[in-house]
Amino acid sequence: MWRFVARRLLHALPVLLGTTFLIYTLVFVLPGDPIQGLAGDKPVPPAVLAELHARYHLDDPLWTQYAHYLAGLLTGDLGTTFTGRDVSDLLADRWAVTLQLGLTAWVLELVLGMALGVWAGLRKGKWDDSAVLFGTTLIISVPVFVVGYLAQLVFGVRLGWLPVAGTEGGWPLAFLLPGLVLASFGLAYVARLTRSSLIENLRADYVRTAHSKGLSRRRVVVKHTLRNSLIPVVTFLGLELGGLMAGAIVTEYIFNLPGVGQQLFQSIQLREGPVVVGTTTALVLVFLLANLLVDLLYGLLDPRIRHD
Amino acid sequence: MTETTRTLEATSGAAEDTASDTTPPPSRQRASLGKDAWFELRRRPTVWAALITLLLMTAMALTPGAFTSLLTEAGDRCDLADSKLGPSAGHPFGFDLQGCDYLAQVIRGTRPSLLAGLAVTAASLLIAVVLGLLCGFYGGRLDALVSRITDIFFGLPFVLGATVILVAFPDHGLGAMILVLTVLGWTTMTRIMRSQVIALADADYVRAARMLGARPVRLMLRHILPNAVTPVIVVAMLNVGAVISGEATLDFLGVGLQYPQVSWGLQLNAAQAFVLDHPHLLLFPALFLSATVLSFILLGDALRDAFDPRLK
């Protein structure tokens, strides 16, 4: 077991290093002088330029610069805003909202997505199967921000069933609608994945054997088929956990939820480059760590992965 | 040297002869698979709907002027007095924020979306086929290196990665966006292509061809590629829709195309502040965008069903 954990951690290390290096090179190194970039068209006094270059190690070779940046990341330093505030401070009270939203969406994906998929798969070819297929295709093809505004307009404003925006309703009430919107794409995907996997497994020999042994349909479906057909679904849901938390930018903005994604959106609008980069890096790290965690858990659950 | 080349040519020529003696020629086989798939596809009404939608969108992207002058009266004229007016008889989509005819604007927004979707997918497909063939066929150090690089890019969520890069270059056009989306998007197809090639490189018919003296390039292009590429094509079709959707999301977030360029994502971005009172601003670009994405997804699904009889 420990060998498995060690191997996974060793495997994750180059990905973490590579991703941060990629972000670092693309953002800080390629275009022009970053200090001049901050000042815009105004000339920067040479003394100030030299001082800032020294403070941010801008004259060092790329590897040294990256090492400084990485050391900062490890100690939780995501850079500073134009006004000198730490980006990690700015984000500190926002993580709770993002976590709540991400988990709500994840649970909705898991429960609704699987339920829809199993229902459609068991009634393959009937009208409800076609309805689920059509509906999920439609949801996948409409961009999430359009889904968000439509849901807000219909359920929040016109029908008044759920809060329109903000977190005043508290969890879970205020997070239901944004959670559903954030989950919509993944939910549709989970439903289709569950459906096709279930249909494929229902035709397998072991299912026929179970049937001919005289087991009830319920037992064959629940005990034999579902367990096997949920493997790809569980894999997808594992990857989604990080993706949902990192991908909540649009949803948090539309529903005015004060999470990390909303901060990112606002910083993009205000053209605050350093905050955008710091926040994005933080979200990417969350995404990668969540994936690593799920990977480790997955090894605990499925011995085949641990041993191979 | 020349002699060895000639013998190699001769043996590979011989390989071709023997292959055509025992099995039907590859060209006829491919045509029949394609014909089979086409027979499957043309029976589906959704395929026809998707094809017609995409043809219309392509025509709009190629000659927006023809459509705007045909469908709108004075579609080029903008009058601030008409700002945000709803649909009316002469102007079925109403007017946008600047008082321009919205139908004309939505038609003009087709080109960047379609261009981004197709160009990014074509470039990713090319990278996927080349890297997938080389890594899957030769394995070894090259394969390990490319796989690690794929892991790294895979660890970067699409919207976040694009946001970071695009914010660093504020003055980018469509070309830079296509580049960024390609850099972030080539991994999925490459992984699929690689695993396909690995599975096929050990197949009996490839071993036979190798023993008969076929060179690696010939093995890859003639024997492995045609059989390995179908799942990648299906994913590519779905990918066009995903890229179009992603490009619109980036425009909406404000990191994609910038004014005064015209695109569906930018129109949706402008619409967000007025959604409650002027829903038509959101509705029409969203409709065009979703119809295009939906068409590519339907085509991809249909292609997969046609090429993969196991799902029937």
Return the minimum-mean-pLDDT range out of A4-18, A38-52, B293-307: A38-52
The single residue listed with the structure tokens 């914010």 is B167
Q: Closest partner residue to B157 among A22, A146, A284, by Cβ?
A: A284
Burial A75-96 (b: 16+ CB within 10 A, else e): eeebbbbeeeeebbebbeebee
CB A79 within 8 A of CB A278: yes
* CA B26, chain centre distance (Å): 27
Quick check: B20 pLDDT over 50?
Answer: no
Quick check: B7 pLDDT over 50?
Answer: no
B 231-250 residues inside an 8 A Cβ radius of A? 241, 245, 248-249
* CA B294, chain centre distance (Å): 13
Give the number of other CB atoms < 10 A from CB of residue B3.
Answer: 7
Q: Closest partner residue to A146 among B157, B159, B286, by Cβ?
A: B286
Helices within chain B (DSSP H only)? 2-22, 26-42, 45-62, 64-71, 102-108, 110-138, 140-154, 158-168, 174-185, 187-201, 204-211, 216-218, 225-253, 264-271, 280-307
Return the pLDDT at B226. Answer: 85
Q: Taking all residues of chain B, what is their mean pLDDT, rounded to a whole number?
A: 80
Return the pLDDT at A191. Answer: 92
In chain B, residues with a C-beta closer than 8 Å to the C-beta of A186 are none
Quick check: A168 pLDDT over 90?
Answer: no
Read off the pLDDT of residues B108-129 as tens digits, 9 standing for 90 and up: 888 999 999 999 999 999 999 9
Quick check: A131 pLDDT over 60?
Answer: yes
In chain B, residues with a C-beta closer than 8 Å to the C-beta of A143 are 245, 248-249, 252, 268, 286, 289-290, 293
Confidence of residue B31 (pLDDT cuts 50, 70, 90): low
Return the pLDDT at B291. Answer: 92
| Interatomic CA distance for residues A247 and A159, integer angstroms | 27
Return the pLDDT at B22. Answer: 47
| Interatomic CA distance for residues B72 and B4, integer angstroms | 69
pLDDT, average across residues B74-103: 72
Quick check: B194 pLDDT over 70?
Answer: yes
Read off the pLDDT of residues A137-157 as tens digits, 9 standing for 90 and up: 888 888 888 888 888 888 877
Quick check: A10 pLDDT over 50?
Answer: yes
Return the pLDDT at B32. Answer: 64
Give the range with max mean pLDDT: A7-21, B21-35, B111-125: B111-125
Among A149, A254, A267, the residue to mutate for chain B (most B Cβ within 10 A): A149
Q: Which residues pair with A112 in a beta bridge?
A: none
Quick check: A31 pLDDT over 70?
Answer: no
| Interatomic CA distance for residues B225 and B209, integer angstroms | 14
Read off the pLDDT of residues B258-269 as tens digits, 9 standing for 90 and up: 878 888 888 888
Q: Taking all residues of chain A, what is their mean pLDDT, rounded to a whole number?
A: 81
Domains of chain A with bracketed CATH: 15-77 (no CATH), 88-305 (1.10.3720.10)
For residue A27, give the DSSP letter: I
Read off the pLDDT of residues A199-211 as tens digits, 9 standing for 90 and up: 888 888 888 888 8
Read off the pLDDT of residues B170-187 as tens digits, 9 standing for 90 and up: 677 888 889 889 988 888
The single residue listed with the structure tokens 């993580």 is A95
Burial of B99 (0-12, 13-18, 19+ CB in 10 A): middle
CB B33 within 8 A of CB B308: no
Quick check: B18 pLDDT over 60?
Answer: no
* CA B122, chain centre distance (Å): 6
- Identify which has the larger pLDDT, B99 or A189: A189
| Whole-number percent of chain B with pLDDT over 70 | 84
CA distances from B118 to A266, B41, B54, B154, B264 (A): 31, 21, 12, 21, 16
Asked if B157 and A30 come within 8 Å (Cβ–Cβ), the reply is no
- pTM, entire model: 0.81
CB B53 within 8 A of CB B291: yes
Q: Closest partner residue to B253 among A18, A153, A249, by Cβ?
A: A249
pLDDT, average across residues A264-278: 78
Quick check: B136 pLDDT over 70?
Answer: yes
Comparing alpha-carbon positions, the chain A residue that sits nearest to B284 is A146
Q: Closest partner residue to A137 among B152, B282, B298, by Cβ?
A: B298
Inform me whether the C-beta atom of residue B200 falls under 8 Å from chain A C-beta atoms: no
- Identify which has the larger pLDDT, B7 or A55: A55
In chain B, residues with a C-beta closer than 8 Å to the C-beta of A98 are none
Confidence of residue B292 (pLDDT cuts 50, 70, 90): very high
**Closest Cα partner for B151 from A18, A66, A232?**
A18
Domains of chain B with bracketed CATH: 105-307 (1.10.3720.10)
- Identify which has the larger pLDDT, A118 or A273: A118
Quick check: A29 pLDDT over 60?
Answer: no
**Closest Cα partner for B105 from B58, B64, B66?**
B64
Burial B257-273 (b: 16+ CB within 10 A, else e): beeeebbbbbbbbbbee
Burial B47-75 (b: 16+ CB within 10 A, else e): beebbebbebbeebbeebeebbeebbeeb
Confidence of residue B160 (pLDDT cuts 50, 70, 90): confident
Among B44, B149, B167, the residue to mutate for chain A (most A Cβ within 10 A): B167
Return the pLDDT at B131. Answer: 93
Helices within chain A (DSSP H only)? 2-24, 34-39, 46-55, 62-74, 87-92, 95-108, 114-122, 127-141, 144-151, 173-202, 205-212, 217-219, 227-229, 231-246, 249-254, 260-269, 273-301, 303-307
Tell me the one-letter amino acid at A256.
N
- Identify which has the larger pLDDT, A93 or B248: B248
pLDDT, average across residues A170-191: 86
Asked if A15 and B272 come within 8 Å (Cβ–Cβ), the reply is no
Return the pLDDT at B169. Answer: 72
Return the pLDDT at B74. Answer: 65
| Whole-number percent of chain A with pLDDT over 90 | 8
Quick check: A116 pLDDT over 70?
Answer: yes
Quick check: B139 pLDDT over 70?
Answer: yes
pLDDT, average across residues B126-153: 89
Asked if A283 and B157 come within 8 Å (Cβ–Cβ), the reply is yes
Checking A168-172 for CB contacts under 8 A at 24+ apart, the result is A171/A100, A171/A104, A172/A104
- Identify which has the larger pLDDT, B275 or A133: A133
The single residue listed with the structure tokens 């941060």 is A20
Tell me the one-letter amino acid at B50.
A
Q: Closest partner residue to B163 among A254, A268, A291, by Cβ?
A: A268
Quick check: A301 pLDDT over 90?
Answer: no
The single residue listed with the structure tokens 């309805």 is A131
- Identify which has the larger pLDDT, B132 or A162: B132
- Identify which has the larger pLDDT, B67 or B233: B233
Asked if A142 and B272 come within 8 Å (Cβ–Cβ), the reply is no
Distance from CA of A107 to the nearest CA of B (A): 21
Return the pLDDT at B300. Answer: 87
Return the pLDDT at A108. Answer: 92
- Identify which has the larger pLDDT, A69 or B142: B142
Distance from CA of A213 to the nearest CA of B (A): 26
Distance from CA of A265 to the nearest CA of B (A): 7
Return the minimum-mean-pLDDT range out of A42-56, B18-32, B284-298: B18-32
- Identify which has the larger pLDDT, A63 or B294: B294
